[in-house]
Structure 1
């Protein structure tokens, strides 16, 4: 069983991860938060989550859907409890986020706190409660896998970027602290992927900075996550992996 957060929109990265993991034989617990999807105004919600779940079931997966506001400090424990009641949880993929553009001068304290509650604190608590489900004894075999989606945003997306920076550190800490128990933990930075938020100008600007010659797709990110959760990816841990076609490298 893999717990996958942030499955709010059928065209999103998490949706592609869900169907990819189902193809690989994982059962799934999918979390979403409809009020956030509505607030963004780019689609998503319960109908999309139902559609993603049905696609995964058609591929043979057992799927549990969980609506959870990860800004609530009690939500991560409840998510892991519900998921573990449905199956043996051995993977945690964190694709959820709070993301509202603002900078140094116009970020409110409320927005700052919510970004850190969702992107950082909830991620720490999800990792903590996930680890509590795993064997406590030392192991050289891979007993659990953690993957989080991160970002290198900074200016004009300040609380999002800062909270993702905190996410990077806590996932790398998990790789070290939980590694002796067989846990592998990594971060994936997918670069700019159009999941409904880009306009023509943004697409053109991102494409101009992508030497690979095209924009990334949700499937590109899903492919890397699938590898990291596979046996072949079991020796990779503590890394921030850029899967972005060399975006903004030069």
Structure 2
């Protein structure tokens, strides 16, 4: 993390309290104009979220950038990762983090388009489509040291269904990692409450030297998301 980021990490500037009342009124006006109650709650949460403000100040595209930064603080998965794959890249915050941390080559894929991230090779496509994956991997000179996945299914409101759908995406990401990771590489994927499924956890423990679950502070307290981090990929025999 840069010195500027560290300074901002300590909290808002000193004059922020003086203007908090004015900003609170602005938030209420913006939220009042929302189309429905759900939109209103989302807007209010975004406008009052300190991580959203930090993302703007640090020029990150999304607050999710801090999830990866905090995961890296605990695991150092970005240390020495010269070639990285980011599955589910939109809007590009994790691509930015990796590049700022010294990644030399990074590629990403998502069903959604993103604005170009200088230094990153992005393909709008489906990780299940071999042609899309091939187009993405052309941006790397060799096997990746790290595979990241922040993929999550659109929520339905039914916790068990949402958890199963996100677990399927995590398993998809793990399969990709098993096919492409360089020996000694690392894997990080979003999972939902309860962590990786027993089968997935068993598979990861056979594939990597260490496996752990992390809930970074940037992950909202009420969110069911966790991240599973596996390090020390064992070369296939």
Q: TM-score, normalised by structure 2?
A: 0.44
Q: TM-score, normalised by structure 1?
A: 0.43
Return the structure number with greater relative CO, CA threshold 8 A, min gap 6: 1
Q: Rg larger in 1 or in 2?
A: 2
